[in-house]
Amino acid sequence: MTTYVTRRSFHASVMALLAATAFCSPAFAQEAELRIGMASPITSLDPHEDSNSPNNATSRHIWDSLINRGGSAENKPQLATEWEIVDDTHWRFTLREGVKFHDGSAFDAEDVVASLIRARDKESQAFASYTRTIKSVTAEDAHTVVVETTGPDPLILNSLSRIRIISSEFADAPVTDFENGPAAFGTGPFKLVSYKPGDRVELVRNEEYFDGPADWSKVTLRQVPDEGGRLASLLAGDLDVIEALPAEGVDRVEGNSNLKVIRGKATRIVYLGMDVARDETPFVTAKDGSPLGANPFKDARVRKALLMGMNREAIVDRVMSKNGTVAHQFVAEGFFGHSDEVEEVPYDVEGAKALLAEAGYPDGFALTIHGPSGRYLNDSEIVQAAAQMLTRIGIDTKVEVLPWSVYSSKYSDGEYSLFLGSWGVNTGEVSNPAIAIVAGRDAEKGLGRYNGGGIDVPEINALIEKAASTLEDGEREQIQRELSNLIFNETWLLPMHNESVVLGAKKNIDFAPRADTYTLAYEIHDNTK
């Protein structure tokens, strides 16, 4: 007996096969669990209570924002599908339709209004830097929202990407309601199962997520601040991905056939600040301890000599165990405001000595460098290395390292002569660190709060103010490039390096590290599937 395969029966069987595979594949993905080891503990699950990286990374699993901030600080649609600039101070957002909260209720404009206002008015003021320009939020209809700003705010999209949208029903709910309480749900890719403070957050996949379900049916965010413990858990197979892989563990992870190291660029810049304001600076003396009679940091040649005298390649290579890249300005290439015209100062001991001599210090001088301990990656080691290098160009350098709780207010108030500082460029734009650490101090406007060196250059201040009110992207980028040139070609700061994001992971994990260092389960994929 022969069977004839007609075209029709062939089609039918192909269709059946396709249907079968289509049914199989989601079932396939269902049994995937992901356990992430976070390097810092979270302080609250209330998405508007406290703004720090671990909190914000965790809240992004459960809640969405209007704008989706991508890994390289770009703005993409999330709960808002499109937006337009109505005039200088009005932005209109069209909301995504058909989105549902985890409890089944529909998402609409009321939720956006309630969330933005809640974040703005919360007593903790944690999101004030993002919400301070929001004057009012109005719902034009169920899926259109207009945000009015107090003045032209070019960074409003970035700001809105930071604020999670909660259900308007819980606009007045206290913190505890968001921690295993009735308010602990959003529209995000994962639903909260349980939160154990100081230990873990357990999540399950939101099957109805508007952007498609995640690869992982179950996600556990473990908080393991201890480096050794985190590494051991990865090696033992108890965790699938760990943040901030300790430098001494890199070899072990690379040598293990089941594991790999994932590296990416972060936007955190580490720099040395100098007192450029006072006529005599307290921690600089002549080599015999007598007063120097002048503040050498007021001379651009001395500042450049300091930068030239530091072997930053070696610091990145040895002190940071390659977990960073040498910086020449605030942001790396590809970020807003990076300028190709910033001179890259090479390591040159003789050149540095020559510059010092030219500035009138042929025999150098003595100074004390200050730094925090345990705040930034290898902070006290960086300060020590820098001190040795400065001593080599003829500046006798003593080191003083203090705990962060003591250091933080003293350095920002400008008590030191040469000090270590760092800034996470969380908008991805040059203006963000410039406002905080370069702008002339102005408490009213919130400028120069961390300007510990007392930098006050009218040209720079003018550019910073101009950048803050220019809406047009191209123009704003040009202003920020000029800003980079002015700051770094005059060496107002000594840029050291950008920290890297270093993760340890199982071989099957695919993840492109994000500039904001968030480890988001939704963006982690299983490459065996």
Partner 1 sequence: MITSLIRRAIQAGFVIFAMTLIVFIGVNVIGNPVDILINPDLNQAERLRVVESLGLDRPLWQQYLSFLHGLAQGDFGDSFVYSKPALDVIVERLPATLELALCAMLIAIVVGLPLGLYAGLYPNRVSSKIIMTGSILGFSLPTFWVGLMFILLFAVQLGWLPSNGRGETELLFGARWSFLTADGLAHLFLPALNLALFKTSLILRLTRAGVQEVVMQDYVKFARAKGLRENRIIFVHILKNLMIPVVTIIGLEFGSLIAFSVVTESIFGWPGMGKLIIDSINLLDRPVIVAYLMMMVVLFVSLNFIIDICYTLLDPRVRLDGKG
**Binding region for partner 1 (CB under 8 A):** 41, 43-44, 46, 49-51, 123-126, 128-129, 132, 175-176, 196-200, 222-226, 228-230, 232-233, 235-239, 403-406, 408-409, 412, 436, 443-446, 449-450
CB-nearer residue toward partner 1: 482 or 516: 516
Min separation Cβ 54 and partner 1, Å: 13
In terms of Cα–Cα distance, which of 405, 58, 62 is closest to 197? 58
End-to-end C-alpha distance for the chain, whole angstroms: 41
Min separation Cβ 231 and partner 1, Å: 9
Min separation Cβ 434 and partner 1, Å: 13
Taking the alpha carbons of 443, 447, 453, 454 in that order, is the dihedral positive or negative? negative
CB-nearer residue toward partner 1: 230 or 312: 230
CB-nearer residue toward partner 1: 175 or 349: 175
Tokens at 84, concatenated: 């337009």
H helices of 30-155, in order, are 53-62, 109-121, 128-131
Min separation Cβ 43 and partner 1, Å: 5
Burial of 437 (0-12, 13-18, 19+ CB in 10 A): buried
Judge contact between 64 and 79, C-beta under 8 A.
yes
CB-nearer residue toward partner 1: 218 or 392: 218
- Phi and psi at residue 326, to the nearest 5°: -60, 135
CB-nearer residue toward partner 1: 41 or 264: 41
d(CA 8, CA 10): 5
Min separation Cβ 426 and partner 1, Å: 8
Min separation Cβ 120 and partner 1, Å: 10
Judge contact between 507 and 526, C-beta under 8 A.
no
Judge contact between 488 and 238, C-beta under 8 A.
no
d(CA 66, CA 99): 12
CB-nearer residue toward partner 1: 139 or 235: 235
Min separation Cβ 477 and partner 1, Å: 22
Min separation Cβ 249 and partner 1, Å: 12
CB-nearer residue toward partner 1: 336 or 450: 450
d(CA 29, CA 464): 49
Tokens at 16, concatenated: 């059946």
CB-nearer residue toward partner 1: 6 or 409: 409
CB-nearer residue toward partner 1: 101 or 271: 271
Min separation Cβ 423 and partner 1, Å: 8
CB-nearer residue toward partner 1: 405 or 527: 405
Tokens at 503, concatenated: 């993760």
Min separation Cβ 268 and partner 1, Å: 13
The angle, 0 to 180 degrees and rounded to 10, between the axes of the packed helices 300-309 and 379-392 is 110
d(CA 234, CA 36): 9
In terms of Cα–Cα distance, which of 38, 44, 47, 33 is closest to 186? 47
Judge contact between 203 and 191, C-beta under 8 A.
yes
Min separation Cβ 263 and partner 1, Å: 23
Judge contact between 188 and 206, C-beta under 8 A.
yes
Which 3-state string (H, E, C) describes 426-481? CCCECHHHHHHHHCCCECCCCECCCCCCCCCCHHHHHHHHHHCCCCCHHHHHHHHH
d(CA 43, CA 58): 11
d(CA 392, CA 385): 11
Q: Which residue has the tokens 């030239």?
A: 308
CB-nearer residue toward partner 1: 451 or 491: 451
CB-nearer residue toward partner 1: 249 or 337: 249
At residue 473, what is the residue type?
D
Which 3-state string (H, E, C) describes 38-57? ECCCCCCCCCCCCCCHHHHH
